[in-house]
Amino acid sequence: MFTRETIDDGFTLTTERLALRWPRLADAAAIERLAGSKTVAETTALIPHPYPEGAAGQFIFASRLANARGDGLTLAITEKKRPRELIGVVALQPPGFSGRSDCTHPFIGYWLGTEHWGRGYATEAVGAMLRLGFAETGAAMISAEVLTRNVASLRVLEKLGFTAAGSGMAPFPARGGMLPVIRMERRRDAAENAGARQEARLGDAWPTDSWPADSWPTDASVASPAPADDDLLLPVAAE
């Protein structure tokens, strides 16, 4: 699914405040501590609680292998000023990820340590991965799912241009069964149309090397905005 520089473990995707990089074995302790929080795990489909000892190392190995193959892209979320300290994970997974035959488009998910909620980091990280996904994969649409009770994550996705595509029950194996979700989608043509409208509206007010935050440039290295939402979690996280 991914090609070029993203399959190199030196790849880093930067935003205004964040650096998104490949996960490393040195991140294992932070993953176990942060993802081990019940508050973090309970809105995700795949993060178990309690978090099993040693599972973080297995997750890191599997993520790096998938990254290297270009099957998907899982990145550690870090602050630019502390690039060695993982604070969460964001991932874009291929269609059919985790046995989901009903997922026919790339699928985005994330989790973020509770002490970093409320700073807009989720919007910033997911927005950067979304732009990269459209630029690198050629996908016509990227999808996500949100628990019906997870209003803050729904707001994050809406801010990034996702629209509701329906609702239903989805498997949450780490939660022991099926739970109600809202299915969200972001179409490439909507992103491109939004960019064209914004460019036409602003005209010469924006130089060509300084795109507005919502114009969705194809260069995924352009910094993302930093809105201050409540950073709750998408149910299908990168675990």
Q: What does each C-alpha distance from 85 to 55, 104, 186, 238 come to in angstroms?
A: 19, 34, 30, 17
Please give the structure tokens belonging to residue 65: 């292998």
Calculate the CA 189 to chain-centre distance: 20
Helix axis angle, 28-35 to 55-69, nearest 10°:
110
Helix, strand, coil distribution of the chain in percent, nearest 5: 40, 25, 35
Distance CA 186, CA 181 (A): 16
What is the per-residue pLDDT for 101?
67
All domains of the chain in start order, with CATH: 4-215 (3.40.630.30)
What is the per-residue pLDDT for 56?
96
Please give the structure tokens belonging to residue 117: 């909620």
What is the per-residue pLDDT for 118?
93
What is the per-residue pLDDT for 229?
40
What is the per-residue pLDDT for 192?
61
pLDDT in tens for each of the 239 residues of the chain?
A: 787 789 999 999 999 999 999 999 999 999 999 999 999 888 888 899 999 999 999 999 999 999 999 999 999 999 999 999 999 999 999 887 666 667 788 999 999 999 999 999 999 999 999 999 999 988 999 999 988 888 888 999 999 999 999 999 988 888 889 999 999 999 998 756 554 444 444 343 333 332 233 333 333 333 333 333 434 444 444 33
Q: Is the distance from CB of 132 to CB of 234 less than 8 angstroms?
A: no
* pTM, entire model: 0.79
